[in-house]
Amino acid sequence: MRFMSGLAAAVAVLAIAGTASAHPKLLTSTPAADAMLTASPPQVSITFNESLSRTLSGIELKDSAGKVVPTKAATPANDKTITATVSARLAPGTYEVDWHAVATDSHRVTGKYTFMVH
């Protein structure tokens, strides 16, 4: 019986620790990573598995030279998705999406991926 109580306590501690260390994870992106598009996308959108802080999360789009491409403010479309509207038609080339996301529980993650326009 004592063993079962100890085992139950250990499982409870691991469950709490797993929940406490959770970070937002990127689920989907549009355009997708490594996508080869035939036309300029109207927006860049990324969706996470958790609710995000509206004011602390965002997207930056860069061309192949590292120059920031103008977008209208990246704002959460809902509590899990951030969307940035592309201000002008993208010329053929490779583009990098740099993103940062802060969950409502204050965990911050960053990442980047590329896509191409032909």
Instruction: Provide the CATH topology of domain 24-117.
Output: Immunoglobulin-like (2.60.40)
Structural domain boundaries of the chain? Answer: 24-117
Two tokens, residue 26: 């990127």
The per-residue pLDDT for range 54-110, each reduced to its tens digit, is: 888 899 999 999 999 999 976 666 799 999 999 999 999 999 999 999 998 899 999
Give CA–CA dist 99/96, Å, rounded: 10
Residues near 101 by beta carbon (within 8 Å), at least 6 away in sequence = 24, 26, 46, 48, 52, 57, 82, 108, 109, 110
pLDDT in tens, 26-68: 999 999 999 999 999 999 999 999 999 888 889 999 999 999 9
Whether residue 25 has pLDDT greater than 60: yes
DSSP code per residue over 6-19 = HHHHHHHHHHHHHH
pLDDT band at residue 22 using 50, 70 and 90 as cut-offs = confident
Contact between 24 and 48 under an 8 Å Cβ cutoff? The reply is yes
Transcribe 51-90 into DSSP letters: -B-TTT-EEEEE-TTSPEEPEEEEEESSSSEEEEEESSPP
